[in-house]
Chains A and B, each alone.
Chain A
């Protein structure tokens, strides 16, 4: 019967993706939970979590991850906002600049780490430039294990450089929804202009800012390859520990405990943001 098939067609079209996502998300999620609470030989236990917490790197990883989150996310938002407002003033050639600003969108965190390694490494371009300018007499060891501030700075810069593009694209899309009347001439730096930006544009941009904040926070928990590229094992982070426990220590149970921890953080962060920033529906609509 034709009527029947017409009715079920949309569901038939959605079924493959729904099925696939449940297979690749729901099942592994349950499994991660199970792995994390199962002992090596079987039976339930909290031992894996205890091992995770008791590990020498755990508190460092925890602190470093949060530190990176707190330093990187606001920096990305501010940078991206500046770029977005510039682009949105539609000056001649703004299309080219948008493309340039968006390039890091295509760069992996691993590649970003390596790119900035060329800058921050002992005989890298930063030291070279400083030395040539006569600012320093001998290279600074930015990425040495005892220079936490140096490592942090390098990672923050690399991540801000890379992922600002993602925030930028979200914000540009949000700005496009705001009627042009709000942005008459391109006098971005006039006092009126600045006030209008703060009082009119930012509130209108709030849903986009919120999406960007949530997405970037969630992915800041996963920060991993950029850290490995710049600091190696000198700077433990949560996602890196999950990798190490799985690949090096060969203990998938503790690795799964880390995975569960990261999932939990993701969920908590999302809920907190939605509660604190309100606009629950706005988020769902975006």
Chain B
């Protein structure tokens, strides 16, 4: 077993920087999620770890071995690809055993481990089939089984669920999480789906434009986004942001004033962004005036979009909330959950 150390890695495509001096420690057995919008460099970073891309600077270590200049096959990694990359000219069984055959393991061992891998992923009935005869979900499981039987200490996954339909994805997500608990490989998992990241990751590295914006446990990132970008990327709906400045004992902006019980002398007059999650806003008899725009009943709760001044804000309300579009209402924020960011840099201001 081995951790992964990414030390000051940079990568340039032509003249475009894809990774800017990235450092990241993945602990032994950890499930690390690289999360970010497309083009943020998450897949490139994963491919650098796999050895499918060469870094332009920095080092990558797996365990205590520097693998920066090694070919993929010498890195002791296994990878699951977005397209699954299941070999169409081989049966499911040969696909799963491919890596073991390349490593010239004895035949009985290959057979036994292919069987184990197939059992783990529920693929035993399909061992003699060709990939063209499988569904997308089954192919995805072949790709996972093929990576797992390698017994490599490091498992790399590049959006392995993004090609599945919604229902299947939910199931596969739970399966992958259970598998990780069983096999405990050091895992780097790339996704653009923040729900996937939240539900699976031990830690999440949120990436943006070739840098890691924030690294932390899922709830830590959810509760305390380091930047406005992270707050807006994580959570469904994303965090609400209101722009304003602290005046005396309240935070005031266009059409609103949020009272602050604890006065912050250091923040007086500073242009800031207030971040508040939908579930921390309640509709009340008095408070910040707002106008209802849309009500979306979502079964367990309703999502109400209101306008505070000119800023749209999402509010999580009970499903039986009695409001109408265009109605004037008042909102109350749960003060302990409010987060403050600098209006210029977007960085969080310590509470």
A interface with B by C-beta (< 8 Å): 1-3, 6
A8 → chain B closest CB, angstroms: 13
Q: Tell me what chain A mostly uses at the interface: helix, strand, loop, or mixed.
A: helix
B252 → chain A closest CB, angstroms: 55
Is B69 an interface residue when CB atoms closer than 8 A count as contact?
A: yes
In order of increasing CB-CB distance, the 4 nearest A-B pairs are A3-B54, A2-B69, A6-B54, A2-B54
**Inter-chain contacts of A6 with B (CB < 8 A):** 54
**Inter-chain contacts of A1 with B (CB < 8 A):** 69
B81 → chain A closest CB, angstroms: 19
Is B71 an interface residue when CB atoms closer than 8 A count as contact?
A: yes
The answer for the CA separation of A6 and B70 in the assembled complex, in Å, is: 13
The answer for the CA separation of A147 and B149 in the assembled complex, in Å, is: 80
* Per-residue A-contact encoding for B49-71, CB less than 8 Å = 1, 0 else: 00000100000000000000111
Q: By the criterion of a CB under 8 Å from any partner CB, how many residues of chain B are at the interface? A: 4
**Inter-chain contacts of B71 with A (CB < 8 A):** 2
The answer for the CA separation of A6 and B53 in the assembled complex, in Å, is: 10
Which chain B residue has the least Cβ–Cβ distance from A3? B54
**Inter-chain contacts of A2 with B (CB < 8 A):** 54, 69-71
Which chain B residue has the least Cβ–Cβ distance from A6? B54
The answer for the CA separation of A170 and B69 in the assembled complex, in Å, is: 47
Most buried by A among B54, B69, B70, B71: B54
List 8 A–B pairs whose Cβ atoms lie within 8 Å, in order of A's numbering: A1-B69, A2-B54, A2-B69, A2-B70, A2-B71, A3-B54, A3-B69, A6-B54
A14 → chain B closest CB, angstroms: 19
* Per-residue A-contact encoding for B63-91, CB less than 8 Å = 1, 0 else: 00000011100000000000000000000
Apart from the given pairs A2-B54, A6-B54, 6 other A-B contacts in the complex at a CB distance below 8 Å: A1-B69, A2-B69, A2-B70, A2-B71, A3-B54, A3-B69
Which chain A residue has the least Cβ–Cβ distance from B70? A2
Residues from 192 to 220 in B contacting A, C-beta threshold 8 Å: none
**Inter-chain contacts of B69 with A (CB < 8 A):** 1-3
A89 → chain B closest CB, angstroms: 32
A10 → chain B closest CB, angstroms: 14
The answer for the CA separation of A2 and B70 in the assembled complex, in Å, is: 8
Which chain A residue has the least Cβ–Cβ distance from B55? A3
The answer for the CA separation of A3 and B69 in the assembled complex, in Å, is: 8
**Inter-chain contacts of A3 with B (CB < 8 A):** 54, 69
Residues from 26 to 58 in B contacting A, C-beta threshold 8 Å: 54
**Inter-chain contacts of B70 with A (CB < 8 A):** 2
Residues from 67 to 122 in B contacting A, C-beta threshold 8 Å: 69-71
B69 → chain A closest CB, angstroms: 6
The answer for the CA separation of A2 and B69 in the assembled complex, in Å, is: 7
B54 → chain A closest CB, angstroms: 5
The answer for the CA separation of A6 and B69 in the assembled complex, in Å, is: 12
The answer for the CA separation of A2 and B71 in the assembled complex, in Å, is: 8
Which chain A residue has the least Cβ–Cβ distance from B53? A6
The answer for the CA separation of A6 and B56 in the assembled complex, in Å, is: 13
The answer for the CA separation of A208 and B118 in the assembled complex, in Å, is: 52
**Inter-chain contacts of B54 with A (CB < 8 A):** 2-3, 6
Which chain A residue has the least Cβ–Cβ distance from B54? A3
Which chain B residue has the least Cβ–Cβ distance from A2? B69
B65 → chain A closest CB, angstroms: 16
The answer for the CA separation of A3 and B12 in the assembled complex, in Å, is: 13
Which chain A residue has the least Cβ–Cβ distance from B69? A2
The answer for the CA separation of A6 and B55 in the assembled complex, in Å, is: 12
The answer for the CA separation of A60 and B69 in the assembled complex, in Å, is: 69
Which chain A residue has the least Cβ–Cβ distance from B68? A2
The answer for the CA separation of A79 and B337 in the assembled complex, in Å, is: 77
B72 → chain A closest CB, angstroms: 10
The answer for the CA separation of A1 and B68 in the assembled complex, in Å, is: 11
Which chain A residue has the least Cβ–Cβ distance from B51? A2
B47 → chain A closest CB, angstroms: 13
B20 → chain A closest CB, angstroms: 19
The answer for the CA separation of A94 and B207 in the assembled complex, in Å, is: 53
Which chain A residue has the least Cβ–Cβ distance from B71? A2
A133 → chain B closest CB, angstroms: 58
The answer for the CA separation of A6 and B47 in the assembled complex, in Å, is: 15
A169 → chain B closest CB, angstroms: 29
The answer for the CA separation of A6 and B71 in the assembled complex, in Å, is: 11
The answer for the CA separation of A253 and B71 in the assembled complex, in Å, is: 57
B173 → chain A closest CB, angstroms: 35
B52 → chain A closest CB, angstroms: 10
B222 → chain A closest CB, angstroms: 39
The answer for the CA separation of A3 and B48 in the assembled complex, in Å, is: 12
* Per-residue A-contact encoding for B159-196, CB less than 8 Å = 1, 0 else: 00000000000000000000000000000000000000
The answer for the CA separation of A188 and B333 in the assembled complex, in Å, is: 69
The answer for the CA separation of A2 and B72 in the assembled complex, in Å, is: 11
The answer for the CA separation of A3 and B54 in the assembled complex, in Å, is: 6
A9 → chain B closest CB, angstroms: 12
The answer for the CA separation of A1 and B54 in the assembled complex, in Å, is: 11
The answer for the CA separation of A3 and B52 in the assembled complex, in Å, is: 11
B51 → chain A closest CB, angstroms: 9
A189 → chain B closest CB, angstroms: 42
The answer for the CA separation of A120 and B111 in the assembled complex, in Å, is: 70
The answer for the CA separation of A6 and B52 in the assembled complex, in Å, is: 10
B14 → chain A closest CB, angstroms: 12
B19 → chain A closest CB, angstroms: 15
